[in-house]
Amino acid sequence: MKGDNKIRFYCSTMASILFFEKPGCQNNTRQKAWLELSGHTVEAINILEYPWSKEELSLYLGENPVSACFNPAAPAVKTGTISPDLFNREDALEAMVKNPILIRRPLLKTGNHYLQGFDTAVLRTIITLAPVPGAEKVVESFIMSDFNNCANSGTLSCNQL
C-alpha cells in the first residue's frame, strides 16, 4: 500500500532524539543504547535538572491518563505520600515541574513527535529500531528486557543520582 511505503521510508531514516533521563537509571541507559545501536543520534538531558514549564511538559505527556504520567518508582509514589489517581492534569503538571522525579521517563522528542515512556510499538511508527550491522545480538538482548519496570523497584534509589 502506498501509505505503508511512506511509513517504511520514514522509519528507515536515522533520527536525532532528545532523551530526557535520570542519570544512572539502568533502564534509561539500555534504552539510549538501543536507540544508538539503531543508528540514531541521542542527546541525553538530565530530566531532574531541566527547567521544565507546564506547557512544555504537557507536550510529552500527550493524552495519557494523568495517573500513567507519574513515575511509579518515585519515592513519594512508592510510599503512598502521593497518589497519582487523585491528581487532575493541571495539578499533576505543577507537581512534576516542582519535583521532576515524579515524571515517568524517559521523555523523547524526535522531529515534531513528543513521547513519554519507551513504548517500542509507538517508537517503531516513528523511527526504526532495527540494529545497525554488527549490533544485532546486543539489540536482541534488549528486546528480551523489561524496559517498563524499574530494576531497583525494591529500593528508593530513584532519589539517588
Predicted pLDDT at 135: 87
Cell of 38: 539503531
Taking only the tens place, the pLDDT of each residue in 33-78 is: 999 999 999 999 999 999 999 999 999 999 999 999 999 999 999 9
Q: 138 falls in which pLDDT band (50, 70, 90)?
A: confident
Mean pLDDT score of the chain, rounded to an integer? 87
Q: What angle do CA 66, 24, 98 make, to 5 degrees?
A: 40
Question: What pLDDT, on a 0 to 100 scale, did the predictor assign at position 141?
Answer: 82
For position 146, what pLDDT does the model report? 62
Q: C-alpha grid cell for residue 42?
A: 541521542
Active site residue 25: yes
Confidence of residue 5 (pLDDT cuts 50, 70, 90): very low
Check: CB of residue 150 under 8 Å from CB of residue 73.
Answer: yes
Stated length of the chain: 161
In whole angstroms, give the CA distance from residue 108 to residue 135.
Answer: 22
Q: Of 11, 25, 69, 150, which one is the catalytic site residue? A: 25
Radius of gyration of the chain (CA): 16
Report the topology of domain 1-47+105-141: Glutaredoxin (3.40.30)
Q: What is the DSSP string of 2-65?
A: HHHHHHHHHHHS--EEEEEE-TT-HHHHHHHHHHHHTT-EEEEEETTTS---HHHHHHHHTT--
Query: What integer pLDDT is reported at residue 150 of this predicted model?
Result: 65
Alpha carbon distances (Å) from 16 to 3, 123, 126, 135, 140: 23, 13, 12, 19, 22
Amino acid at 68: A
What is the per-residue pLDDT across 97-114, written as a single tens digit (0 to 9) for each?
999 999 999 999 999 999
Structure confidence at residue 6 (pLDDT): 43
pLDDT at 11: 47
Domain ranges of the chain: 1-47+105-141, 51-103
What average pLDDT does range 124-137 have in this prediction?
92
- Asked whether the predicted pLDDT for residue 122 surpasses 50, the reply is yes
Tell whether pTM > 0.75.
yes
Cell 494523568 sits on residue: 66
CA distance 103 to 117: 10
